[in-house]
Structure 1
Amino acid sequence: MILEVAILDIKPEMAGEFEIAFKTASAIIGSMPGYVSHELQRCIEIRNRYILLVRWKSLKDHTVGFRESPEYQKWRSLLHHFYDPFPTVEHYEVVASVSDA
């Protein structure tokens, strides 16, 4: 499994609109092959900063399957105009894991 991580700095006056648009965009990403789960969290200290965490079965599911799809164009049109600056997206793989169970 791959974890996609993006820190999203949203234009301050547009944070509310971004959250609404993200709800629509969530259905798009959630329908993609190889998608596992995602979460969006808002920063406490910087109110217009968010972190997006998306779990994919493979790196290719994100970089090719999603990013080269028509659905990505819909995602882009819904969200990309909110970013300032445009986010860097990184991918991570598990090295160690601990569960509270």
Structure 2
Amino acid sequence: MSGKTEAKLVYMANQIARNLKFEPHPAAALADHLRAFWTTAMLRQLFAHLAVHGDGELDPVARTALAELAAGHAPPPQTRATDPAHQGADAG
């Protein structure tokens, strides 16, 4: 793992959090997005980075969303884009 990769993942999580800040439940929307669209490896790298460096670099929405994911809480789909009932269970 390179430090640049983890820094980029923090940047991306913060960027998505800023884009979702006007959603009714922004942290849940971000957690839903990360669970639906990020690979397990991406999340694993981000959590490993946070374990070493803390979450001080994270936007408050991203901090809350990642804490929920780390605790094993998976939010229900927040948008039709991540709802299998609308999109199907297989993206391929």
What is the TM-score normalised by the length of structure 1?
Answer: 0.32
Which of structures 1 and 2 has the larger relative contact order (alpha carbons within 8 angstroms, sep 6+)?
A: 1
What is the TM-score normalised by the length of structure 2?
Answer: 0.34
Kindly indicate which of the two structures has a greater share of residues assigned to helix: 2
Radius of gyration: which is bigger?
1
Kindly indicate which of the two structures has a greater share of residues assigned to strand: 1
